[in-house]
Structure 1
């Protein structure tokens, strides 16, 4: 019975044959309804959210629980963004179980655990574990399968889908927008297959896309790539401004291991190229990309890694198989899972040969396909040539798990994007606000133990500043940061009034993006944006009026605190 419940919810969540025309609720319109979604349809709503990742879902939840209506689009057929369609278990800070994120984000995490406890045959010990980690992965306290997040997010959104406040269009992305002076008036969304388009009129628009897609479409001013030291005065900024210099992205994949079985795939196209590829970075990379060694992010010295798909730890080394393991079979009844399942998002499949920002759709697709070929080549190398402690080469029993990723080719539905277009914001977060070393230089040793306290804080977060190698030759930039706040000013474009960022497209720099881009921070940004829209709509204010008036700002901060938002760090 429990397994059937899981399959029912998974089907509801979109695990299966969803198409671009599939939606999960009808009758969103209070004034009118449409019977079909063919080209030329007109829809009106309060808020149009483009992008169904964690930021988009958090925005939708905040909007709907405060009584407004919303349309949310998602380019793929899974909501959840980096945790689902990209497959990446949550990267989080060490305080996440008790504080440092909104109540709603911790509720989402608890629902993940409850979903496993309700629907899966866990061992008695695992079921009684308060902080269950289904995969026992070392990267996160809650490593789990992507489609469980999809199911849980739908569970959270379902009341609003049922009552018509929320409508979700899967397989749709923004196409064009109409603006008047400093406001976005409407937007046309089009299915990725090109067969359907919908004209959406709304009072507010939210860009929750992975690459900041709405910014060029709406004419909202933005920046990309690397700022120079002259521009930002940041300690770790580059000497020159390079707008096309972005962090590597990754096409992730899931795999398991079958002892004694030969699952070797056909040799991928360009395998020899990737087998012999040495990243051209400064400072230099440790050697070949396909190797159990990489540049230590903090020191850039060569760092050896271990790999054993049987889960056996390599003495003195991180076993990559256990790092992002999303299912640990020992947490479940014997035989339920034939083996552990892991997610491959490693240095070896970081794609640093091209850029996805401000390029043509043809180039975007070509670059993603090349990145997929790198990931397939890594998998084949692991099967055939990865060195083993017993002196052998390769693990033929490794098996791609496309079923876990919801794809036929075994790769994730969408690349894991680390860097987006970023709005030119009312306030830009700099390294001096959050970076340990830079902060101490600005305010001194004692004061520098705490991040800058933003008077307009609308959330908190933490992650070290972590920039992966770039497409223009930068090696890792990785250094310590401080538990930080999210300033309202970083969520407000300088000019446009009713468009808000809800992903990695806020007012950060290339440097500070490195700590504001992770799962709980994206959720916090999305929820803050949703609450801002609800508050300004109720009080007939603009977002800039809220930020620029101390009394209104204080009232807004009380409003969001009452809805579970932390605006200051506890005990820090």
Structure 2
């Protein structure tokens, strides 16, 4: 029998005016404070690390997990007070997985343990009875499960975990030759005695304060200096892993990276632009939890609702059903409702007490795409705001866009409750559904007084550019054609791409016939297209998901009436082959003891749309933790494992054997240049 656990939380049925006012309040003060940021005070303490992991999301937790099992001292920082990123602080606690990989349970060992612990917690894997995933659950439980996993890994591996919640990296000390991070300065904040608890304020209200050295009326600060443990070797004594959600450390360290759309090329033939556009990244989302109630609720219209309501939509006719949307990511269902079907989708109808997490493209997604409102600052914008100067780093995000995304999310809840308009399908499609309430309070599913996730779900941030490599002299990266199943015989590509670009595209996809295509001895249209992803000799992890887009909007602000998605952005969307994580994608230029995990590895804009989901993040983190521990043990820098490719790299092979031995696969079954039968992997 399935076990059901009681869920206790404070429920608020009104979006109060006092709550709304807090969204607008003192964020301006933080912007001004950032411009006049005072010099740091002397660190309050120094902490020794072998592996410093910046970011406590799934990639960061996986990095720490493997580092601890390898017996290393791991320092783990996180801007919020929850571990888990996507499945906790960002609220997207619905595992994005592909059917074949899930059926074969072909995942990293830590990710399998996470899934098993979720099932043990609830007595089933899907306590929410959602239909988007095989596992939807409560964000708070994800944090608790991961916290226990790290404690257990610490004991099993005899490592040492030092966990720093509510902590941000403020500055880096980089060696004079620019190759080594010598130390990192961090700021940890706690509420001033007598002030409201953490997670009372939204991120837009607190982020500026979190990055200031000075104590404030709300937060007391502890300044921490992270330094390496002593070592007798000449190799780097410690490793810093950027597992942040937006590529904070690669920006702060000022190593080369990409942001937004890449220019159309034979590697990225479906790009919506002939030039780079750093301002158009995928939409980000403040998720929230809402509960189905027996009785109708009374809600007040947010004062900013009319600004955002022209944006909201069910998006497609086959999705235009409240119950369908509610159960899509339902994270808690104490009793099963009646079977229902809409648009060909089968689900169980909501019942009182059901909790749904909302993450909807034409809803609480916020999708800026211009230089006036982009969330993740470009290098030029960072320079212009003084964030690349010593002591000037303030997180690299536009606070105004965070604030507006928070308003947009609260407005979307009200639209689900009372809305009657639909921006894409027209009026008459959406009907009010008043038997619902927003769940708020520190003990609510999102763990915040306002009911929004502690941090937005980030689909895309800065993406590092790897070091020059054979075949990619400008810097290594993983591109659209490395993973996409798309049929590039489509007339669009023949007409749109210049002849030489089209020939290079077909050659790159043709495997053994590539030289003949380039030399013109074989017509591009007659070359056999490979039916698998690119095989990387330095693969250290795996992933599989569709190329899934939440495109930016054309005009500013995103919610403007009649606004549209960037034309052509969805062209690159579609199915992908099972893919690999190349070690070269995790090694930045210039700095030798910095590794990159999670969404900031070296991928293109289109490839990143697949390289962003839960199991991939874990696999990338597991690779980062293993590589760092291996490098320390063997006194070798990670770049030295791949600098002679495509020649044989014995130490790289030893690393790959270690990953496999530890239950962290680096390739899918039967991966080979001679195996062209990947159509069954869905």
Give the TM-score category using the shorter length.
0.7 to 0.9
Instruction: Determine if the alignment matches structure 1 residue 137 to structure 2 residue 130.
Output: yes
Q: 2:144 aligns with which of 146, 151, 155?
A: 151
1:97 to partner: Cα distance = 4.3
Instruction: Please give the per-residue CA displacement for 1:321-351, whole angstroms capped at 9, x wherever unaligned.
Output: 111111122269xxxx952111100012211
Equivalent runs, 1:552-563 vs 2, <5 Å? 552-563=651-662
2:187 paired residue number: 190
For each residue in 1:348-403, what CA deviation from the matched residue of structure 2 results, as whole angstroms up to 9, or x when unmatched? 22111332212665963221111111111111111112489999931122111231
Does the Cα contact within 8 Å between 2:420 and 2:429 map onto a contact in 1?
no
Q: CA deviation at 1:570?
A: 1.9
- Residue 295 of structure 2 corresponds to 260
Q: Name structure 2 gaps, 5 residues minimum.
A: 9-40, 189-209, 211-218, 229-237, 338-350, 386-393, 468-475, 490-505, 511-526, 555-564, 671-677
Instruction: Please give the alpha-carbon distance, in whole angstroms, between the structure 2 residues aligned to 1:231 and 1:40.
Output: 52
| Residues 71 and 159, structure 2, Cα contact 8 Å, conserved in 1 | no
Q: In the alignment, which residue of structure 2 is the partner of 1:124?
A: none
- Shift of the 146–97 alpha-carbon distance from structure 1 to 2, 3 Å rule, reads farther
TM-score by length of 2: 0.68
Matched with 1:104 is 110
Matched residues in 1 for 2:113 and 2:487: separation?
Answer: 35
Residue 322, structure 1, aligned to residue 327, structure 2: yes
**SS of aligned partner of 2:137:** coil
Could you tell me which residue of structure 2 aligns to residue 542 of structure 1?
A: 637
- Alpha-carbon contact 1:74-1:170 (below 8 Å) kept: yes
Q: What is aligned with 1:429? A: 478
1:231 CA drift (Å): 8.5
Q: Aligned in 2, Cα 1:496/1:92: closer, same or farther, shift over 3 Å?
A: same
Between the aligned partners of 1:241 and 1:258, the Cα distance in structure 2 is: 48
Q: Choose which of 45, 59, 84 in structure 2 pairs with 1:41.
A: 45
Question: 1:488 corresponds to which residue?
Answer: 583
| Aligned twin of 2:566 | 474
The aligned counterpart of 1:420 is 461
- State the partner residue of 2:600: 505
Find the aligned partners of 2:153 and 2:553 in 1 and give their Cα distance.
Answer: 41
- Looking at structure 1, the residues matched to 268 and 612 of structure 2 have their Cα atoms a distance apart, in angstroms, of 21
**DSSP 3-state at the match of 2:102:** coil
Distance of 1:413 and 1:156 partners within structure 2: 22
3-state SS of paired residue (1:467):
coil
2:244 to 199, 209, 216: 209
The residue number in structure 1 matching 2:470 is none
C-alpha contact (below 8 Å) 1:99/1:570 kept by paired residues: no
| Secondary structure of 2:651 counterpart | helix
Q: 1:540 to 1:168 in 2, by over 3 A?
A: same
Count of paired positions: 495
Instruction: Write out aligned runs for 1:304-343 (5 A).
Output: 304-309=318-323, 319-330=324-335, 338-343=352-357
Distance 1:271 1:197 in 2: 40
CA distance in 2, matches of 1:197, 1:368: 26
Cα RMSD of the aligned pairs, angstroms, is: 2.8
Is residue 207–residue 502 contact of structure 1 (8 Å, CA) maintained in 2?
yes
Is the counterpart of residue 67 in structure 1 residue 149 in structure 2?
Answer: no
Q: Which runs of 4+ in 1 moved over 4 A?
A: 2-7, 160-164, 230-233, 359-363, 386-392, 444-447
SS, match of residue 377 in structure 1: helix
Alignment gaps of 5+ in structure 1: 8-36, 118-126, 277-288, 295-301, 310-318
Superposition pairs of residues 373-392 of structure 1, within 5 angstroms: 373-386=407-420
- Cα distance between partner residues in 2 of 1:507 and 1:70: 24
Question: Structure 1 392/115 Cα, relative in aligned 2: closer, same or farther at 3 Å?
Answer: closer
Partner of 1:51: 55
Of residues 165, 186, 199, the one that matches 2:160 is: 165
Name the SS for the 1:227 alignment partner: coil
Higher mean C-alpha deviation, range 382-391 or range 447-456: 382-391
SS of 1:91's partner is coil
1:345 corresponds in structure 2 to 359
Q: Identify the range of structure 1 (560-569 vs 546-555) with the bigger mean alpha-carbon deviation.
A: 546-555
1:174 Cα offset (Å): 0.5
Q: CA deviation at 1:246?
A: 1.0
Q: Report how far residue 83 of structure 1 moved.
A: 0.7
Instruction: Report the equivalent of 1:520.
Output: 615
Indicate how the Cα distance of structure 1 residues 390 and 87 shifts in structure 2: closer, same or farther if over 3 A, else same: same
1:201-260: CA deviation from partner (whole Å, max 9, x where unpaired):
131101111011111222222121111014855333521111222111111111111122
8 Å contact from structure 2 (residues 127, 333) kept in 1: yes
Query: Equivalents in 1 of 2:271, 2:136: separation in Å?
Result: 32
Which range moved further: 489-498 or 391-400? 391-400
Distance 1:259 1:308, change over 3 A: farther
1:194 CA displacement: 6.2
Distance 1:556 1:392 in 2: 55
Instruction: Give the greater-gyration-radius structure (CA).
Output: 2
Cα distance change of structure 1 residues 391 and 558 upon mapping to structure 2, 3 Å threshold: closer
Distance, in Å, in 2 between the alignment partners of 1:238 and 1:452 is 24
Q: C-alpha offsets along residues 71-97 of structure 1, whole Å, 9 cap, x if unaligned?
A: 101101111001101110221111224
Kindly tell me: are residues 510 and 159 of structure 1, through their superposed partners in 2, closer, same or farther at Cα, counting changes over 3 Å?
same
Once residues 160 and 5 of structure 1 are traced to their aligned partners in structure 2, the CA distance between those partners, rounded to angstroms, is: 28
SS in 2 for 1:481: coil
Aligned residue in 1 for 2:38: none
CA distance in 2, matches of 1:270, 1:557: 53
* Structure 1 range deviating more: 213-222 or 414-423: 213-222
Give the superposition deviation at 1:437. 2.2
